[in-house]
Chain A
Amino acid sequence: MTRSTKSSRAYLYVVFTFLYLPIFVLIFFSFNKSKSRNLFTGFTLDWYRQLFQNEMILRALVVTLAVAAIASVCATILGTAAAIGIQGMKRWSRFTVMNFTYIPVINPEVVTGVSMLLLFTSLRYFLNFNMGFGTLLIAHITFNVPYVILSVNPKFRQLDNSLYEAALDLGCNPTQAFFKVILPQIMPGITTGFLMALTYSIDDFVISYFTSGTSQTLSIAVYSMTRRKVSPEINALSTLIFAAVLTILLIMNFKDIRSENSKSGLKKKGAERI
């Protein structure tokens, strides 16, 4: 057993090295004095200074975060409601709706992006609007919703229906029973869906590329920079994003641990009282 845990640990280290090495190289060269991406010539913080003066990147960052936040919240609400409705449907309508829901997941991003571009350009014959933040947001919500539905749905399959019935028997009305019994049980799925939506949104390039029109997300800004020459400002930005995400995740993890501890503490207290 110990040998297998040791080898599995070694294996994990190798894979994580593969996942993180490029990122650490990226971070390392954000402190590089010259513009070279291979040769470290000395330490500097100049790229960070320049980053905070680069309006194009800062504006793109704001757009990216705003789109991701709004789109993933909307998608979580829309998707959770959809999942709740879908599991009450008859077999065939559920089958049909789920097959359409799968489309943005299964469909290549290029196709989704291109098809939405076609929709927006066609709609512009009838409506007066420009492609920009609005179309970007619509596109992001559209490709995010399915991930929420797909992560909430399995929770419904695992749901113990007798608990819901028990709640009704004990005097809850259906709404109360939903919020007190069902929602807590599907909550892990909702959280997963939300996090997936957020991650996909921030990371998305392809669909944004086709639907963003005049507004620029971070990935589009980076793309236009890689076609010329990437300045180490981009490395500096990656470092900051990485640090920010790491901090957020660490705080969330500590909170989890603390709430777990306090929960078990409560249980102990309750046990003593009994």
Chain B
Amino acid sequence: MFKAKAVSVPYLIWMAIFIIAPLVLVGIFALTDAEGSFTIENLSGIGRFTPVFARSIWLAAIATAICLLIAFPMAFAISRMSERRQNLFLMLVMLPMWMNFLLRTYAWMSLLENNGLINRFFGLFGIGPFQMINTQGAVVLGMVYNYLPFMILPLYSVMTKIDNSVIEAAQDLGASNGKVFSKVIIPLAVPGITTGITMVFVPSISTFIISRMLGGGGNLLIGDLIEMQFLGNSYNPHLGSAMALVLMVIVLFTMSITSSIDSEELEDMLI
């Protein structure tokens, strides 16, 4: 068995300073006031923002579900191609990610506007214009558009390992296409699904740009609130840290649901 524990030391030091210490600071700030004495006022004050938190969770959950529905067949189709075509299509999936995220969102702004291209297109048939920008739908669209590759890539990377002979074996043993999907492909893709959900849900729930650009001022999310406490008008890093703490708890709770499957998988591999 190949072992070289010592080479991970630089990373462990880095981790302690730049991953662990900052989070400890968030905790300290959340539990202190401006004078530095202990208080739980920051945390208890968050109750006022419950609607914002609920909206964030709801919109992010919808966006994640849509991403999964779009990405699953997509990743499967790509994973069944010849190797050369797989590389080409993966490239096509990743290419939009190289465009700046703000530019991509900005592009949707001009498409969704009241006199934007989509409404002009509808206008040709004499329908519309529809109010699309500054709605919750636009925010969800922005999330799906920006984070879809993050769902496709992990799904693809587990599906490409599914051997065709496994699928053929299931078919030979009499499974219908639906059965093959639900009994073979989906169970084998579970690690990819959980990774994909993490990678879409987390940035969706915490975004503050998409909501600001596509949702107008009326659809504030948690991210907007936190940003405003640190760099915005209502400067209060203590309240902001408390909000960040709550956001982390929400995310960890979500992960604890998805990763319970993961750790079983891990144990299976270890045994």
Contact = CB atoms under 8 A, between A and B. Distances in A.
Interface of A: 8-9, 11-12, 15-16, 18-23, 25-26, 29, 37-38, 78-79, 81-86, 88-89, 91, 97, 100-101, 103-112, 114-119, 122, 138-139, 141-142, 145, 149, 157, 161, 164, 174, 177-178, 182, 195, 199, 202-203, 205-206, 209-210, 218-219, 222-223, 226, 230, 234, 238, 241-242, 245-246, 249, 253, 256-257, 260
A20 B95 CA distance: 9
Interface in B250-271: 251-252, 255, 269-270
Contact of A26 (B12, B103, B199): B103
A111 B155 CA distance: 26
A272 B156 CA distance: 37
A93 to B, nearest CB: 9
A19 B25 contact: no
Interface stretch (B41-49, B83-91, B132-140): B83-91
B244 A245 contact: no
Contact of B223 (A20, A100, A108, A226): A108
A175 B88 CA distance: 35
A125 B248 CA distance: 27
Interface string B44-73: 000000000000000000000000001001
B103 A106 contact: no
Nearest to A220: B102
Given A25-B107, A84-B8, A104-B19, 16 more contacts: A9-B77, A19-B145, A23-B99, A26-B106, A82-B12, A84-B4, A106-B252, A108-B202, A115-B26, A116-B18, A117-B230, A119-B25, A205-B102, A206-B223, A226-B102, A238-B100
B269 A157 contact: yes
Nearest to B17: A119
A89 B11 CA distance: 14
Contact of A85 (B8, B84, B111, B223): B8
A88 B2 CA distance: 7
Contact of A81 (B10, B93, B101): B10
A178 B2 CA distance: 8
Interface residues of B, number: 87
Given A118-B29, A226-B213, A111 B100 contact: no
B203 A109 contact: yes
Given A111-B206, A114-B226, A222-B103, A253 B91 contact: yes
Nearest to A111: B244
A27 B115 CA distance: 19
Nearest to A199: B97
Q: Of A23, A108, A109, A230, which is in contact with the most chain B CB atoms at under 10 Å from its CB?
A: A108
A150 to B, nearest CB: 9
Q: Of B1, B18, B213, which is in contact with the most chain A CB atoms at under 10 Å from its CB?
A: B18
Contacts of B89: 12
Q: Of B97, B106, B223, which is in contact with the most chain A CB atoms at under 10 Å from its CB?
A: B106
Nearest to A16: B92
A118 B24 CA distance: 10
A19 B148 contact: yes
B7 interface: yes
User: Chain A: interface secondary structure?
Assistant: helix
B147 to A, nearest CB: 11
Contact of A108 (B3, B23, B247): B247
Contacts of B231: 209-210
Contact of A226 (B10, B106, B255): B106
Contact of B226 (A23, A110, A149, A234): A110
Contacts of A18: 145
Contacts of A161: 1-2
A222 B105 CA distance: 11
B74 A12 contact: yes
Contacts of B84: 257, 260
A88 B18 contact: no
Contacts of A114: 26, 226, 230, 237, 240-241, 244
A142 B12 CA distance: 12
Contacts of A182: 2
B111 A22 contact: yes
A44 to B, nearest CB: 18
B9 interface: yes
Contacts of B255: 106
Q: Of A15, A110, A115, A245, which is in contact with the most chain B CB atoms at under 10 Å from its CB?
A: A110
Contacts of A117: 230
Given A226-B213, A246-B95, A29 B8 contact: no
Nearest to A209: B231
5 contacts: A26-B106, A26-B107, A38-B110, A91-B270, A117-B230
A100 B3 contact: no
